[in-house]
């Protein structure tokens, strides 16, 4: 019976050590390496040069292509693209963003994450790379 209390104490100390290490690592700014998620979208895009996907909005304008997250940096609602005004807007609290993700009007204070996108292949298609830390 004396073996179980020491085993429980050792287990508790080991778990406390792991928790302390994790806390110190997070406070020091350590993040696990991001996993990349690749989305594929057909080309060409509609005439307005944009395509709304579940996780992001893809733009192809003036020979450059990029994508921005659809998750608002204020409270995480899904933003929508307004083609006439050429901006992104959050329906929850009306934060507005430029098509490059920059904040135009709060309450959001941080820009939308921007993702790398490229057009390749024959027939052409878009490849969007999303870091798992952003999505």
State pLDDT tens for residues 73-120: 998 899 999 989 999 999 999 999 999 999 998 899 999 999 888 887
pLDDT at 112: 94
> What is the pLDDT averaged over residues 18-41?
70
> What beta strand segments (E) does the chain contain?
36-42, 50-52, 56-61, 64-69, 80-82, 87-89, 96-97, 103-105, 114-120, 125-131
In the block, which residue shows the tokens 């928790």? 19
Give 135's DSSP letter: -
80 CB neighbour count, 10 Å cutoff = 13
The whole-angstrom separation of Cα 76 and Cα 82 is: 18
Q: What is the DSSP string of 47-68?
A: TTSEEE-SSEEEEEETTEEEEE
pLDDT at 28: 76
Kindly compute the dihedral angle of the four CA atoms of residues 54, 33, 98, 43, in this order, to the nearest 10 degrees. -50
Q: Give pLDDT tens digits for 47-61.
A: 668 888 888 898 988
DSSP 26: H
- For residue 90, report the phi and psi dihedrals to the nearest 5 degrees: -90, 125
State the pTM of this model. 0.67
């Amino acid at each position: 019976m004396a073996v179980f209390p020491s085993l429980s104490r050792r287990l508790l100390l080991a778990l406390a050590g792991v928790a302390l290490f994790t806390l110190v690592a997070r406070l020091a700014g350590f993040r696990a390496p991001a996993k990349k998620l690749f989305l594929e979208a057909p080309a060409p895009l509609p005439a307005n040069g944009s395509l709304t996907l579940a996780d992001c909005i893809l733009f192809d304008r003036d020979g450059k292509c990029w994508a921005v997250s659809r998750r608002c940096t204020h409270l995480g609602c899904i933003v929508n693209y307004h083609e006439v005004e050429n901006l992104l807007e959050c329906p929850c609290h009306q934060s507005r963003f430029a098509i490059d993700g920059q904040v135009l009007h709060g309450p959001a204070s941080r820009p939308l994450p921007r993702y790398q996108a490229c057009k390749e292949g024959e027939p052409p298609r878009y490849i969007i790379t999303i870091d798992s830390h952003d999505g």
